[in-house]
Amino acid sequence: MRYIRSSSVTLENITKKSTIAAEFTSVAASYPFRVSPSYAKLIRREGDAIWKQCIPDLRELDDAGQCPDPLAEHLLSPVPGLIHRYPDRVVLLVSNRCPVYCRFCMRKRHVGEGDAPMDAQTLKQAMDYIAANPAIRDIILSGGDPLMLDDDSLHHILQQLRAIPHVTIIRIGTRVPVTLPERVTPELCTLLKRFHPLYINTHFNHPDEITPLSARACDLLADAGIPLGNQTVLLRGVNDSLDTMRSLQTGLLSLRVRPYYIHQMDLVRGTAHFRTPIATGLEIIRGLRGHVSGMAVPQYVIDLPDGKGKVPILPDDVERQGDLLILRTYQGEMVRYRDLTTVADS
């Protein structure tokens, strides 16, 4: 398994004019830094929406109260590199590298650490597990970013999955159309279309990420017959306003990308300064419904701690006891979820 060759802008080059540039390196020592040149070019000024998503922040080190793995992915990994949370689908962590190491990453604990793709033995263990469990029909390639693998490595993985009779759906979770759009080539799309039904969920968080380059990447994928969805993370000071979210979700439809989820920020250590009150997400959904096409209204979801799974919530169906929400899982279990937010300035 091999990665593509890709460059990264140095932290010093981006932050040299910042008044706190020297302090960024201490954060990067704990949580790795990486930004592609194409994404760095989207930064218009210090502290803007793009900057906040990719530049280290001292507040990452202040947030020690949360868990590195609140979704208990390590407990849901029967073999290394595979997460089996729901009965019929698994997540395969084929890459540990991304074009950009997002500061709000749900896998902040290990993305960029070691910086190596899944090796042959680990991949074999994962494939053997999938083959031995016929209830598994849906595979999500994740990481890191799967599209950081070169075409031959992707072909090898997809070919092995398609050789398992009960695997009917393959999904790829990737932020590459946003962070490294030049990676999406006609050759890559020709490869991917050989393995239909194949779906891609990408990850736009702000209208400034909709550019001619990201639009071209989405066009190439859509023209290859690949259905495209988008998962947005609700981020304080980035996209936590109705106007921003409306512009983003309607803009995605113009790229042939269907809004799928808005995620409440996971309770991941080092990310508390991004977290919004749940009321903010509910107000955004309320403001979208009826005011934009139904196709532009994603589900607002909370991924519950301890591997309980995603729960969609609507403005009218939340049972609350103070700062506790009582949410029902897909298995009917009632789970208490505390609405934790930061009071720090953005």
Q: Is residue 218 annotated as part of the catalytic site, yes or no? A: no
Q: Is residue 31 annotated as part of the catalytic site, yes or no? A: no
The pair phi, psi for residue 50, each rounded to 5°, is -75, -45
Number of H-type helices and E-type strands within the chain: 12, 12
Residue 67 DSSP one-character state: B
Q: Is residue 67 annotated as part of the catalytic site, yes or no? A: no
The pair phi, psi for residue 284, each rounded to 5°, is -65, -45
Whether the ω angle into residue 197 lies within 30 degrees of 0, i.e. cis, is: yes
Given the residues 34, 63, 97, 102, the one annotated as active site: 102
Given the residues 193, 216, 286, 310, the one annotated as active site: 310
Cα four-point dihedral sign 209, 212, 216, 219: positive
Q: Is residue 89 annotated as part of the catalytic site, yes or no? A: yes
- Residues belonging to the binding site for [4Fe-4S] cluster are 98, 102, 105
Q: Is residue 102 annotated as part of the catalytic site, yes or no? A: yes
- Residues belonging to the binding site are 98, 102, 105
Q: Report residue 157 as tokens.
A: 């993985």
What gap in Å lies between CA 109 and CA 71, rounded to an integer? Answer: 12
Q: Is residue 193 annotated as part of the catalytic site, yes or no? A: no
Given the residues 261, 266, 275, 308, the one annotated as active site: 266
Cα four-point dihedral sign 213, 180, 266, 309: positive
Please give the distance of CA 176 from its chain centroid, rounded to a whole number. Answer: 11
Query: In a 3-state reduction of DSSP, which class is residue 279?
Result: helix
Q: Is residue 98 annotated as part of the catalytic site, yes or no? A: yes
Given the residues 103, 107, 108, 246, the one annotated as active site: 107
Given the residues 86, 150, 219, 286, the one annotated as active site: 86
Q: Is residue 266 annotated as part of the catalytic site, yes or no? A: yes
Given the residues 89, 162, 193, 256, the one annotated as active site: 89
Helix axes 120-131, 151-162, angle to 10 degrees: 20
What gap in Å lies between CA 344 and CA 346, rounded to an integer? Answer: 6
| Residues labelled catalytic | 85-86, 89, 98, 102, 105, 107, 266, 303, 310
